[in-house]
């Protein structure tokens, strides 16, 4: 048995349970926000990830600042008390229950995916961004650290259509890939800074041609293809972190003041909570 790994997982499970139990008290404690930001933020989540969403928003406000608006788009599962709790975090936070508008004249197969599939609805949200100026999209399992202050300057960039979070491996629906070169420079859809409407035609064409049922990575593959088709740029891997190289050890190799954020994907989700317990004001 790998005791350090299992100890970290147990610690993360306990920390999450305590955080969930204390959500009302946590939200009553206002976050001290030191700067206003010139962009909007969107996230997509549901009732099962309420603790992560609360912690993520509070860490963003603490280390990045207050955006023009922080919108949590519900996957349809949030109940009224949870929506009220989220909107009490800060005046900039609101929960959107309605789905984003879709492009007109979509094929029936694609429209069905974007309106009924869990990650398809996430893709519909990302495709609708930005609406009014620079927009950050972030998953609920992202924690922000002191160097998130860099986001204010990044949001003023004029020379690129979008920044994306570089993935540590190519995690995709291989059925959408036509050439080995399309696997290069993998994109993670969980953190995107968008400056203009992108051309999604390549991804939608691949979706239309897909044989079989979409899987967990179908949306990520569409985002990967379209980020590269639109000449998006990867964020600095040293500051914007997506890694699983510390999955089976006790400590979090990457949680420190010198990074802007870490996306705690499923293999290292327990470290979201151990990092929160050690690194952040509650």
Task: Judge whether residue 278 has pLDDT over 90.
Answer: no
CA atoms within 13 A on the CB side of 179: 4
Mean pLDDT of 193-204: 96
Look at residue 279 in the predicted model and tell me its pLDDT.
67
Query: What is the rounded average pLDDT for all residues in the chain?
Result: 95
The per-type count for the chain, helices as H runs and strands as E runs, is 10, 10
54-93 pLDDT tens trace: 999 999 999 999 999 999 999 999 999 999 999 999 999 9
Q: What percent of the chain has pLDDT over 90?
A: 91
CA distance 270 to 211: 35
Q: Give the ranges where the chain is alpha helix by DSSP (H).
A: 3-21, 23-28, 50-63, 80-87, 108-116, 118-127, 150-154, 201-209, 218-229, 269-279
Look at residue 104 in the predicted model and tell me its pLDDT.
84
Answer whether 160's CB lies under 8 Å from 232's CB.
yes
Domain that holds residue 182: 3-27+34-279
Give how far Cα 98 sits from Cα of 75, 78, 95, 102, Å. Answer: 9, 12, 9, 12
Task: Judge whether residue 282 has pLDDT over 50.
Answer: no
Hey, which residues does 61 pair with through a beta bridge?
none
Better-predicted residue by pLDDT, 277 or 45: 45
Q: What secondary structure letter does DSSP report for 266?
A: G
Taking phi over 0 as left and psi of -120 to 50 as alpha, with beta for the rest, 85 belongs to: alpha
Q: What secondary structure letter does DSSP report for 91?
A: T
CA distance 206 to 141: 28
Better-predicted residue by pLDDT, 265 or 99: 265
Give burial (CB, 10 Å; 0-12/13-18/19+) of 209.
exposed
234-250 pLDDT tens trace: 999 999 999 999 999 99
111-153 pLDDT tens trace: 999 999 999 999 999 999 998 899 999 999 999 999 999 999 9
Work out how many domains the chain is built from and give that number: 1
Look at residue 219 in the predicted model and tell me its pLDDT.
96
Whole-prediction pTM value?
Answer: 0.95
Give me the CATH number covering residue 160.
Answer: 3.90.550
35-61 pLDDT tens trace: 999 999 999 999 999 999 999 999 999
**Minimum mean pLDDT among 76-80, 131-135, 161-165, 223-227: which range?**
131-135
Task: Judge whether residue 220 has pLDDT over 50.
Answer: yes
Give how far Cα 153 sits from Cα of 21, 39, 186, 263, Å. Answer: 37, 11, 24, 20
């Amino acid at each position: 048995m790998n005791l350090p790994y299992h100890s970290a997982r147990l610690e993360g499970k306990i920390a999450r349970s305590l955080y969930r139990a204390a959500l009302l008290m946590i939200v009553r404690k206002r976050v001290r926000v030191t700067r206003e930001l010139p962009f909007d933020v969107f996230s997509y989540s549901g009732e099962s990830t309420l603790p992560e969403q609360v912690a993520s928003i509070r860490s963003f406000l603490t280390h990045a600042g207050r955006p023009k608006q922080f919108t949590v788009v519900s996957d349809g599962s949030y109940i009224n008390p949870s929506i009220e709790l989220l909107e009490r975090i800060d005046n900039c936070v609101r929960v959107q229950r309605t789905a984003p508008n879709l492009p007109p004249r979509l094929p029936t197969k694609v429209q069905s995916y974007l309106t009924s599939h869990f990650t398809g609805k996430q893709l519909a949200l990302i495709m609708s961004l930005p609406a009014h100026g620079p927009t950050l999209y972030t998953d609920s399992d992202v924690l922000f650290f002191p160097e998130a202050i860099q986001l204010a300057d990044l949001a003023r960039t004029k020379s690129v259509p979008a920044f994306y979070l570089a993935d540590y491996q190519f995690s995709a629906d291989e059925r959408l890939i036509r050439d080995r070169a399309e696997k290069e420079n993998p994109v993670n859809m969980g953190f995107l800074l968008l400056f203009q409407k992108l051309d999604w035609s390549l991804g939608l064409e691949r979706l239309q041609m897909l044989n079989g049922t979409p899987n967990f990575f179908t949306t990520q593959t569409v985002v990967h293809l379209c980020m590269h088709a639109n000449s998006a740029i990867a964020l600095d891997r040293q500051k914007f972190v997506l890694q699983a190289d510390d999955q089976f050890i006790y400590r979090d190799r990457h949680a420190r003041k010198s990074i802007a954020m870490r996306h705690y994907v499923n293999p290292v989700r327990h470290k979201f909570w151990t990092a929160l317990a050690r690194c952040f004001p509650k």
